[in-house]
């Protein structure tokens, strides 16, 4: 029985899951948060029960100690379910990492060097990796990169029309993100349809608070909406998505906004929050139905961008065999799915209203009509299982 521990570390927290791989069954999961603060907190979930502790957690090493204590006290026993490897989510692998990679001291150095491209994510992941390698010193550790799946994009897709020397010096290109989710969903869609992954042209919409779309040809990413950072592309909960870069110059000159103020504006105060003051699609839907013009406009802008990317990716792929929706909004908000594909019947895409409205939570569901040439699916994502799969493949 192979068991994998999956760790997703941030600068002040980490989440974990212990997964039995034969049935891809979660044996336990948990959260360690507020690391470095006076009031730290842990939560451990096992056998349907939740166990919470509160204590000061000075660093990730202490956090891993508390995680091990939780397994020892509340189960399952790591003696009985000893992990054969630890998989780590790392947001940015740059152009160096094309696949899941066993972590060595040199890999740690590279992850640290790439922190300049993901300053909010890679440093926290590295802290978790170092603490986990100390806690589980005798087993392999594997880094699974959000960007790796998109390294199959051709040069014309990942290259920006920026001065070449400047771009090369500062490593500016399209990297793409949410790769583990796009990979998992595209493979799950192919399995559900009973068709070889290598024969399918797919579009996947990962719609959560962060959102991205990917065109996938034969299982390989050929175009994706997020770019140099996770800011580009679709409208998101608090991020702008696509924006004329001259707007930033205008705000610097006319509003005297600093670099930090612009960063906050684009990443924290824009998107749905900027348009309507909320980023929960359920709240926005209720407000729009009650006649709130700001909420309605926010939803219209959001779905307009989705249709634009759907059309662009249909052109890039030369048509599609399957379109999948995943993540919080994609899996749970029928009117967003319908609006995203409205007007695309000319491309063989027809959504069945009843199937769309009655899609079963947590299950792969086909929501396209019988006469639709393109299969439209709702596919629950599971990034932790995908990380565990890739980890086991490297460690085996």
What are the b/e assignments for 216-226, b being 16+ CB within 10 Å? bbebbbbbbbb
Six token digits for residue 130: 């170092």
Of 121, 27, 44, give the one whose Cα is nearest residue 78: 27
The percent helix, strand, coil of the chain (3-state, each to 5) is 40, 20, 35
Spatial distance between the Cα atoms of 239 and 89, rounded to a whole number of angstroms: 22
Annotated catalytic residue 217: no
- What is the bridge-based pairing of β-strands 3-9 and 85-90? parallel
DSSP 69: H
Say how many CA atoms lie within 13 Å of 87 toward its Cβ.
29
Residues in the chain: 396
Tell me which of 69, 80, 146, 263 is the catalytic residue.
146
Spatial distance between the Cα atoms of 91 and 124, rounded to a whole number of angstroms: 10
Spatial distance between the Cα atoms of 5 and 12, rounded to a whole number of angstroms: 19
- List helix spans (H) across the chain: 60-74, 105-113, 122-135, 155-158, 164-169, 179-193, 246-254, 259-268, 271-276, 281-289, 293-317, 327-332, 334-340, 353-357, 383-395
Q: Which residues are known catalytic residues?
A: 146
């Amino acid at each position: 029985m192979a068991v994998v521990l999956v760790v997703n570390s941030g600068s002040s927290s980490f989440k974990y899951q212990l997964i039995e791989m034969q049935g891809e069954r979660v044996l336990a999961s948990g959260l360690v948060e507020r690391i470095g603060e006076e009031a730290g907190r842990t939560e451990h979930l096992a056998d349907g029960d939740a166990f919470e502790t509160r204590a000061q957690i000075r660093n990730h090493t202490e956090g891993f100690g508390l995680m091990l204590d939780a397994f020892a006290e509340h189960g399952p026993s790591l003696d009985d379910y000893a992990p054969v490897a630890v998989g780590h989510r790392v947001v940015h692998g740059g152009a160096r990492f094309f696949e899941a990679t066993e972590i060595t001291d040199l890999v740690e150095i590279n992850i640290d060097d790439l922190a300049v491209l993901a300053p909010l994510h890679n440093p926290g992941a590295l802290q978790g990796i170092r603490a986990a390698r100390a806690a589980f010193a005798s087993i392999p550790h594997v880094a699974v990169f959000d960007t790796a799946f998109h390294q199959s994009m051709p040069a014309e897709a990942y290259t920006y029309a920026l001065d070449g020397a400047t771009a090369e010096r500062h490593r500016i290109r399209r990297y793409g993100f949410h790769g583990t989710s796009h990979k998992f969903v595209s493979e799950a869609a192919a399995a559900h349809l009973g068709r070889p992954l290598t024969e399918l042209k797919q579009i996947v919409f990962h719609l959560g608070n962060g959102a991205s779309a990917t065109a996938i040809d034969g299982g390989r990413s050929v175009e994706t909406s997020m770019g140099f950072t996770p800011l580009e592309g679709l409208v998101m909960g608090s991020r702008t998505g696509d924006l004329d870069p001259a707007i930033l110059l205008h705000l610097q000159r006319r509003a005297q906004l600093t670099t930090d103020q612009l960063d906050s504006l684009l990443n924290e105060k824009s998107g749905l929050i900027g348009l309507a003051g909320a980023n929960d699609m359920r709240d926005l839907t209720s407000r729009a139905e009650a006649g709130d013009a700001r909420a309605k406009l926010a939803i219209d802008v959001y779905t307009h961008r989705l249709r634009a990317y759907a059309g662009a990716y249909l052109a890039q792929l030369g048509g599609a065999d399957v379109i999948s929706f995943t993540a919080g909004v994609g899996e749970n908000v029928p009117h967003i799915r319908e609006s995203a594909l409205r007007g695309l019947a000319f491309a063989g895409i027809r959504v069945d209203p009843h199937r769309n409205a009655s899609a079963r939570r947590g299950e792969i569901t086909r929501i396209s009509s019988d006469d639709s040439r393109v299969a439209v699916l709702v596919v629950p994502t599971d990034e932790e299982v995908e990380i565990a799969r890739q980890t086991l493949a490297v460690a085996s």
